[in-house]
Amino acid sequence: MGAVKQLTRSTLALGARALSATDPDLAAIVRRHGVPPFWGRRPGFQTLIRIILEQQVSLAAARTMYRRLAHHAGAVSPESLLRLGVPGLRALGFTGQKAAYCVHLAEAIHAGRLDLTAVAGAEVEAGRRMLLQMRGLGPWSVDIYFLMALRRPDVWPHGDLALADAVHRVKRLRRRPDHNALTLLARQWAPWRSVAARILWQDYLSRKAR
């Protein structure tokens, strides 16, 4: 079988089996919870806006803000955000910084400086460079887009605190790993790092729910 280009439900299960065969700790999570959910998002402008809104706030707060935007704008598109501008987004409860980031992204797409179809067709590192040129899209945001929306199989989210907590517990480490230690540790899960992240998120969320 050739290299997997995109996760599907079947390749997610394949990746979970491959990781379980080489990592007893991940295997224990899969035995306990099964193959992780096929979390996914629709690629495109709307998802990038949602990712910007999710930075440094709870997912519930970000969902509320996005619903308010969608209700007011009708359709969340580069054109509708440009019509609102920073003042209009501030009136909907956006911080000044997030409003500026969203408008900057809308301007780049509207002007053709950013082509999301080209991002989707690019190799991960090339696509990441395109998105990282946008203000408000840092390494974590871009990695989440590639992992969740473009469903690439081998992306490890930069600086994800939930994953750091999960690895700390699952691997029985003395302290929570920092970004560099976590990135180094995650190399053992290539070419299925996205699947490893989903397995660990599943364990983290199940423990948090309890």
* pLDDT on residue 91: 95
The enclosing domain of 167 has a CATH number of: 1.10.1670.40
Q: Does 139 share its domain with 73?
A: yes
pLDDT at position 207? 86
Same domain assignment for residues 98 and 178 = no
What pLDDT is attached to residue 98? 95
The answer to whether 169 touches 205, Cβ cutoff 8 Å, is no
Q: Is residue 4 part of a domain?
A: no
**Residues 67, 134 within the same domain:** yes
Q: Are residues 82 and 115 in the same domain?
A: yes
Q: Looking at residue 208, what is its pLDDT?
A: 81
Residues of the chain with confidence (pLDDT) below 50: 1
Hey, what amino acid is at 111? A
Q: Which tokens sit at 190? A: 């290539």
**What was the pLDDT predicted at 2?**
59
Q: Cα–Cα distance between 58 and 66 in angstroms, integer?
A: 12
The pLDDT value recorded for residue 209 is 79
Closest Cα partner for 144 from 49, 208, 9? 49
Domain enclosing residue 22, as ranges: 9-40+154-209
Count of the separate structural domains present in the chain? 2
